[in-house]
Structure 1
Amino acid sequence: MYLNPVARYLKPSLDAVIFSPSTFLVSSHPLLYPFLVPHLPNTMSFSVKHFIKPPPLDFEPNRPAAVLRELTACSDAQKAAVADLQAQFSLSKEAGETLVDSIVSEMKQGLERDDVSMRMLPTFVTGALCASLCALLLRIRGCPGHALVGYHNANSNKQCREFFNVSGIPTGNEQGTYLALEVAGTEIRVAQLKLMGNHGQFSIHEFQYRIPDELIAGDNFSVMIDYITDCVDDFLRRVGSQDLFVYSMGVSFGFAIQQAGLRQGIILDLPQEYSYPDAIGKDVIQLLHDSIEKKGLAVKATALANGTDMERIQKVLTTLSSSSQFNSHTMYAVCTLLAQAYQAPTTTMAVLHGMGTNCAYVERLSNITKFKSDTPSSSDETIIINTEWGNFDNERSRLPLTWFDRRCDRESVNPHYQLFEKMMSAKYLGELTRLVLLYLVDSGLLFGADSSHTFNMSYTLDTTYMYVCEADDSPDLEQVRLVLETMMKIQDTTLADRQIVKKVCEIISMRSAVLVATAMASVLRLIVTDGVGIGPEGITVATSGDLLELYPGFYDRVCDTMKMLVGDLAPKITLVVVKSCRLVGSAIIAMMAEKACEDVVGL
């Protein structure tokens, strides 16, 4: 059955919000993010709930953390148990500096060889697009308008290098209108990005659609592609389009895709929500192109900026070899960097920290010694590196793992993999908290030594519940009560129970903030000591992700830890929260792809 988008599947999430470089600068107040831009030029309220998964609780985002100073209602035994947990999950300054040394050491090893946990993957993007992207990054260093770039040849099993001269380097003054399409899970997001020039000003229209239940399974995948095209058509009708104008569109699908070219992506696997046997092996970009052409839309998909979960890719790789695959956090980190680099030329690093965690940064090509042949001699030639820092210390020899971390890892779908990510990403924080609380229940110190069927089930304590608990400043912790009694089905909790739960949430989230700040400090040290360095105007670190943007007090804790670890470098570092980074980054990639087609023959 062919369905057109209708209002009940549509969620408007942003309407013509204009961003300037100053919009993205985060002040000393940890909660003055772009979410709170004053005087929006529209009448629609800007709700961050459209940028996270629909929460089961109606919580107010960006509330400050209400730190619980004392466990006033708890017994001495309960206080002692919580103090012991706090000691287990704490990281001293000395331990943090030691961890920085370990991360930097593994990063250097990852640049030298492939058999390390932190892969340090060059973000090879096919052909001239890579040249254009690298040219933008070279501009950050004030270099001439050319770039030496590498990419993975889809038609061979070896790393290849090609060299391009590119003129017309992006300066932040480009103008044009571009589209971005993202399909993630059962949600579709379409955005129109207008580059206004004027040192990086742009405006964005964005709408979010939901794929109806009727279309998540079938025997003709083209039907769902047609629905996606209808969403693009509906979007263009709502925001308006120009006659005789063809929009370039950057596309991102949350599928396991073998990306053999800038405009080619073979579907290897679909998310678990979908059941379309005929989709496997098809070129999703060609399907989209055919659907757009059939619909008669003035749109062309110029770039696929794609990725999916590494766990799924690993399974696929047991039977299929891929020429170029990245996980979703890989491309999201790169998109975050590009989205901010358009506005701030000092951007040389980007961090994603939400459901997953990753970092992309600008590295000298000459430092990537695992490519022994064709290594450029000039130290000014650079490329974006995806660190894959979530994999740090999969050997479990240097991370400050607790018993709870080890259990969470053992019971996960990918044991002994992405240990660092499991210690600090939103996907696992709720589960870690649940395991700690169950330990206290079994010790007879919480909930009267009784639990509930819901609470005993894995991953039922969503990380968003922790948001609510940490922000609760009521005397009796009524919002914590709501989480425990309504969501977790634990009856008749005491104030002591609620204080312990709130404190444990604080302990777990604090460690997450400290660990991500430690990882950021490690990358910054590598940049300063062995990499592109920090110029007189300093360095901008682009950040994105629900934890940094929404979790009460999280950003502040990251900043405090960063200041402690980087010392005198702190005044030269600007942390910026990037809005809609995936869509903005995808649209900028579309712009660069279009420009590369104009400037480089043979793409």
Structure 2
Amino acid sequence: MINSKRYKTAQARLQKRDSRLIDKYLYSMRLSDETLKDIMNRFRREMEDGLGHGTNPTATVKMLPTFVRSIPDGSEKGDFIALDLGGSNFRILRVKVTQDKKQPVQMESQVYETPDDIIHGSGTQVRALELFDHVAECLGDFMEKQKIKDKKLPVGFTFSFPCAQSNVLEYAAKTGKIILTWTKKFKASGVEGTDVVKLLNKAIKKRGDYEADIMAVVNDTVGTMMTCGFDDQRCEVGIIIGTGTNACYMEEMRHIDQVEGDEGRMCINTEWGAFGDDGSLEDLRTEFDREIDRGSINPGKQLFEKMASGMYMGELVRLILVKMAKEGLLFEGRITPELLTKGKIETKHVSAIEKTKEGLKKCMEILTRLGVEPSDEDCLAVQHVCTIVSFRSANLIAATLGGILSRLKENKGVARLRTTVGIDGSLYKMHPQYARRLHKMVRRLVPDSDVRFLLSESGSGKGAAMVTAWCLTCLKCMLLQKAFSFFLPRNRHFHET
């Protein structure tokens, strides 16, 4: 372990070469406030393109309407199933929402692993459909354990990939959400351009041992916003900062050209991971960002996500360390097969290295496992690299979030914005410095705002249940309206005769 005296000695030695490290490798990752404000303005323009009818087809930030028109108001109640698919693990929840003030929401959940061959599946549609067969199998197992296979509970599905939809209430008719593209680790080809609800219903029907009423399919950002909105009705933004990154927010209907109507608001799924896919961030991408992109399963796509999300952070650090070692600036030039192996440094390692008290000890352990025999100065330098990389991520997210917040402020026409941002995601939760850095930078970029950051303790599944409850309420209103409109003409005709 690096003790206090050794730490000071190593730090003094590091200072002599610190300028070389920063100037040659990390300077381009240090983003000034002016640069971040410029990114914020670029993102605002991308948002406007995504909302516009004429510009949406070519926009990279798609600004997808979700048809969710409000956050929870406290009247929600019922017994629901929530499915949460977005990473290597698939979570199923049973959510009971009551009017009990002491415990309004009761949840039971189980996590199921999604096999890699399904996540990375390619080829025929039959092969790719195994993903939905897997979801149906897990749902059947969960219902069996909950002893609810004989019930037909309403289901909300958190599906964390870009999808287009025409109306949230169409799920009751078993249709409505079209997969646009896979992101993160998923590459189950053969289902892009097809309907999520139809695929899942087909898989459930094929089993034949239970029934499920899929009422809503929502993005995980929407689920996060709705989850936090249940606890704080000022919540009007939802963000995921984990394996991937994305955000949603409540937009004025009058600004959404893709849907009819000008009254009220609607939640927009920004799909900001694709920000920069048109080259608008090219001046900010480093050689390491380009190498990350070339080695990914979707080159040229989700470029902002590759710069900012947790899936790529560890690999980004590894690429930097390899180049520094090759040029003799780390590990006395030693390069091992382990250091050259993709994926050997993970984002969880970056988080461990940046811990205040034990970070340098963890760094020594991690680098020793890679066989590079690090010195104390090496550990300090690597910790510094990790700090710069994670700081850049927090700053980039702060800039895009700043774009959303400034738009909310403009939409409301207020001198000072007061709002709540719901957040979920492993990078935000697990990195020891990330949340503090993000909050601080957001307040610097949008100083005329009071922003509360609310961590989603129960994930986005609870939010999917809230949207499902909202859908049920809307459907009941629609059915009553139809019945009433049908009854009136018949009654009037009877009276006239």
Closer, same or farther in 2 for the Cα pair 1:593/1:472, shift >3 Å? same
Closer, same or farther in 2 for the Cα pair 1:455/1:250, shift >3 Å? same
C-alpha distance in 2 between matches for 1:220 and 1:416: 25
Closer, same or farther in 2 for the Cα pair 1:191/1:559, shift >3 Å? same
> Which one is further off, 384-393 or 258-267?
258-267
Which of these residues, 216, 236, 239, is aligned with residue 348 of structure 1? Answer: 236
The amino acid across from 2:452 in the alignment is T
- Structure 2, unmatched stretches of 5+, are 1-6, 483-497
Contact 2:82/2:94 (<8 A) preserved: yes
Aligned equivalent of 1:503: 384
Computed over aligned residues only, the root mean square deviation of the Cα atoms, in angstroms, reads 3.9
User: Does 2:440 match 1:560?
Assistant: yes
User: Does 2:78 match 1:197?
Assistant: no
C-alpha distance in 2 between matches for 1:100 and 1:224: 37
Aligned equivalent of 2:490: none
Q: Secondary structure at the match of 1:458?
A: coil
Which of these residues, 245, 263, 269, is aligned with residue 386 of structure 1? Answer: 269
Which of these residues, 404, 409, 416, is aligned with residue 523 of structure 1? Answer: 404
User: Does 2:28 match 1:88?
Assistant: yes
User: Does 2:56 match 1:114?
Assistant: yes
Q: Secondary structure at the match of 1:359?
A: strand
Contact 2:236/2:250 (<8 A) preserved: yes
Contact 1:251/1:303 (<8 A) preserved: yes
Per-residue deviation, residues 531-570 of structure 1 (Å, max 9, x unmatched)? 245699921111111111111110000011112112131x
Which of these residues, 418, 424, 442, is aligned with residue 538 of structure 1? Answer: 418
Aligned equivalent of 2:470: 592
Aligned equivalent of 1:337: 225
TM-superposed CA distance for 1:501, in Å, is 1.0
Closer, same or farther in 2 for the Cα pair 1:249/1:352, shift >3 Å? same
Q: Secondary structure at the match of 2:329?
A: coil
Contact 1:221/1:279 (<8 A) preserved: no
Contact 1:249/1:587 (<8 A) preserved: yes
Contact 2:222/2:248 (<8 A) preserved: yes
C-alpha distance in 2 between matches for 1:274 and 1:421: 16
User: Does 2:368 match 1:490?
Assistant: no
C-alpha distance in 2 between matches for 1:527 and 1:365: 13
Aligned equivalent of 1:455: 339
Q: Secondary structure at the match of 2:90?
A: strand
Closer, same or farther in 2 for the Cα pair 1:425/1:273, shift >3 Å? closer
Q: Secondary structure at the match of 1:543?
A: strand
Per-residue deviation, residues 50-72 of structure 1 (Å, max 9, x unmatched)? xxxxxxxxxxxxxxxxxx99951
Per-residue deviation, residues 64-110 of structure 1 (Å, max 9, x unmatched)? xxxx9995164555322233244332122222223222222332233
Residue correspondence of structure 1 range 24-35 to structure 2 within 5 A: none
Closer, same or farther in 2 for the Cα pair 1:270/1:119, shift >3 Å? closer
User: Does 2:112 match 1:209?
Assistant: yes
User: Does 2:153 match 1:247?
Assistant: yes
User: Does 2:347 match 1:425?
Assistant: no
Please report the TM-score for the alignment, with normalisation by the length of structure 2: 0.78
Aligned equivalent of 1:364: 252
C-alpha distance in 1 between matches for 2:179 and 2:37: 43
Q: Secondary structure at the match of 2:98?
A: strand
C-alpha distance in 1 between matches for 2:413 and 2:335: 53
C-alpha distance in 2 between matches for 1:231 and 1:224: 11
C-alpha distance in 2 between matches for 1:375 and 1:227: 37
Q: Secondary structure at the match of 1:351?
A: strand
Per-residue deviation, residues 470-497 of structure 1 (Å, max 9, x unmatched)? 116249x3311221122xx223221111
The amino acid across from 1:436 in the alignment is I
Which of these residues, 142, 161, 170, is aligned with residue 235 of structure 1? Answer: 142
Closer, same or farther in 2 for the Cα pair 1:495/1:382, shift >3 Å? same
User: Does 2:311 match 1:404?
Assistant: no
C-alpha distance in 2 between matches for 1:538 and 1:451: 51
Contact 1:472/1:478 (<8 A) preserved: no
TM-superposed CA distance for 1:226, in Å, is 7.0
Aligned equivalent of 2:429: 549
Q: Secondary structure at the match of 1:96?
A: helix
Q: Secondary structure at the match of 1:251?
A: strand
Per-residue deviation, residues 346-380 of structure 1 (Å, max 9, x unmatched)? 12111111121111111112223x55xx854x4x4
Contact 2:60/2:275 (<8 A) preserved: yes
TM-superposed CA distance for 1:466, in Å, is 0.5
Q: Secondary structure at the match of 1:581?
A: coil
C-alpha distance in 1 between matches for 2:59 and 2:315: 24
User: Does 2:319 match 1:435?
Assistant: yes
Closer, same or farther in 2 for the Cα pair 1:528/1:183, shift >3 Å? closer
Which of these residues, 74, 91, 102, is aligned with residue 42 of structure 2? Answer: 102
C-alpha distance in 2 between matches for 1:365 and 1:117: 19
C-alpha distance in 1 between matches for 2:465 and 2:30: 41
Identity %: 23
User: Does 2:217 match 1:304?
Assistant: yes
The amino acid across from 2:386 in the alignment is C
Contact 1:542/1:578 (<8 A) preserved: yes
TM-superposed CA distance for 1:410, in Å, is 4.1
Closer, same or farther in 2 for the Cα pair 1:525/1:78, shift >3 Å? same
Residue correspondence of structure 1 range 33-44 to structure 2 within 5 A: none
TM-superposed CA distance for 1:506, in Å, is 0.7
TM-superposed CA distance for 1:581, in Å, is 3.0
C-alpha distance in 1 between matches for 2:191 and 2:399: 45
Q: Secondary structure at the match of 1:342?
A: helix
Please report the TM-score for the alignment, with normalisation by the length of structure 1: 0.66
Q: Secondary structure at the match of 2:56?
A: coil
Aligned equivalent of 1:287: 202
Per-residue deviation, residues 417-444 of structure 1 (Å, max 9, x unmatched)? 3322222111221122112112211221
Q: Secondary structure at the match of 1:567?
A: coil
When you count helix as a share of all residues, which structure comes out higher?
Answer: 2
Contact 2:241/2:309 (<8 A) preserved: yes
- Structure 1, unmatched stretches of 5+, are 1-67, 125-129, 138-169, 306-330
Closer, same or farther in 2 for the Cα pair 1:469/1:270, shift >3 Å? closer
Contact 1:181/1:249 (<8 A) preserved: yes
The amino acid across from 1:385 in the alignment is I
TM-superposed CA distance for 1:576, in Å, is 0.7
Q: Secondary structure at the match of 2:448?
A: helix
C-alpha distance in 2 between matches for 1:335 and 1:109: 25
Per-residue deviation, residues 322-363 of structure 1 (Å, max 9, x unmatched)? xxxxxxxxx111221222223322121111111211111111
C-alpha distance in 1 between matches for 2:104 and 2:417: 20
Closer, same or farther in 2 for the Cα pair 1:454/1:406, shift >3 Å? same
Q: Secondary structure at the match of 2:268?
A: strand
Which of these residues, 481, 491, 494, is aligned with residue 364 of structure 2? Answer: 481
The amino acid across from 1:511 in the alignment is R
The amino acid across from 1:95 in the alignment is T
